[in-house]
Amino acid sequence: MQTVRFERENAVGRIVLANPPFNRLDVRFAESLRQAVHDASESDIRVLVIKAEGPHFSLGGEVREWPGKDLNWFRTFVDEVNMSYRAIEALRVPTIAAVQGFAFGGGFELALNCDFIVAAENAVFRCVEVTTGMLPIAGALQRLAERVGRGRASRFAMLAEPISGVLAGELGIAAHVVPEAEVIPTAETLAKKLSVGPTKSYAATRTLLKAWSAGGVPAADAMMLDITMDLFNTDDCTRGFLNTAKAFDLEIEPPDLVFNGR
C-alpha cells in the first residue's frame, strides 16, 4: 500500500501522508516519501503543500519495526528518511506543512523542513525521541534551534515537552495558527497565493536563508549578490519594476501583480 502520494492541481503540488490515523514513519513511508518528493521535483509546480489524511499529521517512527534489527539497517533507514527530508528543503519552490492533531518525532521533523507551517490551535508538536533513549535524528534539533534558540531547543528535545499549536505560533515555529477546521483552507489559500508569485525570487530567498543558516549573516552577505542579481533579467522582475514605476507616476500603491514564474 502506498502510504505517501504526490498529487498536483495546476501549479500547486501536494504530498499527502496517507496512512491514517497515525501516519507513522515505517519502511513503506520512507520508500513512498522518496518517490513522492522525486515526483514533485520533476514536475513544474510552483508551490508544495504537505498534508495528512486522518486526525493526526504524524506520530513519528514506527518503532515496532526496529527492535532486533541490525544497526546498519537502522542507519540506512534513517539516512533514507533524511535524504527525502533534505530533498524537500532542496526544492526550488516554497513548501507548506499543514498540521493538525499530533506531529511527534519524525512527523515534527518533516514539518520543520518546510518554509511555512500552518498549525491548528490544538495541534501538538513534540520531540519524543528522548523517551526511547534516542534524540531527534532527522534534523529537528538543529532546525528547532534555528527557529527558537538553543535553550528552547534543548528544553524541547531533552524534556520532550509538548508544544501546542498556539505556543508554536508564539515561538515562531508555526507561521500561521488557526482553528483546526481552517488548517487545510488556510494552507491552500497560502499555496494559491504563492503559486502566482515570483517563483524565482522565492527560490533565491530560500537559497539565501540556507546560506544564513550555514554561516550566519557574513555568509549570507558574501553570497547575496551572486544569488540575487540574475533576477534582474527575469520576466517577473522586469514586469514588477514596470508595475511599480507606473504606480509611482500615478502616486498610488503598486497594484498586485500575477507573476508567471519566469
pLDDT digits (tens, 9 = 90+) for 77-129: 999 999 999 999 999 999 999 999 999 999 999 999 999 999 999 999 999 99
- pTM for this model (two decimals): 0.94
pLDDT for res 135: 94
Same domain? 95 vs 140 = yes
Mean pLDDT across the chain:
95
Query: Is 258 part of a structural domain of the chain?
Result: no
| Mean pLDDT across 219-246 | 95
Cell numbers linked to 53:
489524511
Same domain? 165 vs 233 = no
Q: Are 102 and 124 in contact (CB under 8 A)?
A: yes
Same domain? 189 vs 204 = no
Same domain? 26 vs 42 = yes
Same domain? 91 vs 181 = yes
Query: Is 260 part of a structural domain of the chain?
Result: no
Query: Is 67 part of a structural domain of the chain?
Result: yes
Looking at the structure of the chain, the number of domains it has is 2
Rounded CA-CA distance 42/200 in Å is: 16
Of residues 2 and 235, more confidently modeled: 235
Print the SS3 string covering the chain: CCCEEEEEECCEEEEEECCCCCCCECHHHHHHHHHHHHHHHHCCCCEEEEEECCCCCECCECHHHCCCCCHHHHHHHHHHHHHHHHHHHHCCCCEEEEECCEEECHHHHHHHCCCEEEEECCCEEECCHHHHCCCCCCCHHHHHHHHHCHHHHHHHHHHCCCEEHHHHHHHCCCCEEECHHHHHHHHHHHHHHHHCCCHHHHHHHHHHHHHHHHHHHHHHHHHHHHHHHHHHHCHHHHHHHHHHHHHHHHCCCCCCCCCCCC
Same domain? 69 vs 30 = yes
How far is the CA of 211 from the CAs of 83, 205, 207, in angstroms? 19, 10, 6
| Ramachandran bin of 253, using left for φ above 0, alpha for ψ from -120 to 50, beta for the remaining angles | beta
Q: What is the pLDDT of residues 153-198, one digit of tens each?
A: 999 999 999 999 999 999 999 999 999 999 999 999 999 999 999 9
Query: Is 91 part of a structural domain of the chain?
Result: yes
Query: Is 127 part of a structural domain of the chain?
Result: yes
Rounded CA-CA distance 65/51 in Å is: 24
pLDDT for res 108: 98
Rounded CA-CA distance 35/43 in Å is: 12
Same domain? 158 vs 70 = yes
Query: Is 259 part of a structural domain of the chain?
Result: no
Calculate the CA 28 to chain-centre distance. 21
pLDDT for res 91: 94
The total of other beta-carbon atoms located within 10 Å of residue 184's CB is 17
Q: pLDDT over 70 for what percent of the chain?
A: 100
Same domain? 106 vs 38 = yes
Domain end (from 148, 180, 195): 195
Q: What is the pLDDT of residues 22-77, one digit of tens each?
A: 999 998 888 899 999 999 999 999 999 999 999 999 999 999 999 999 999 999 99
Same domain? 81 vs 173 = yes
pLDDT for res 2: 80
Domain end (from 172, 195, 218): 195
| Mean pLDDT across 127-140 | 95
How far is the CA of 54 from the CAs of 18, 24, 170, in angstroms? 8, 12, 26
Query: Is 116 part of a structural domain of the chain?
Result: yes
Same domain? 142 vs 240 = no
Residue 1 confidence (pLDDT) above 80:
no
pLDDT for res 30: 86
In terms of residue numbers, what domain contains 44?
Answer: 4-195
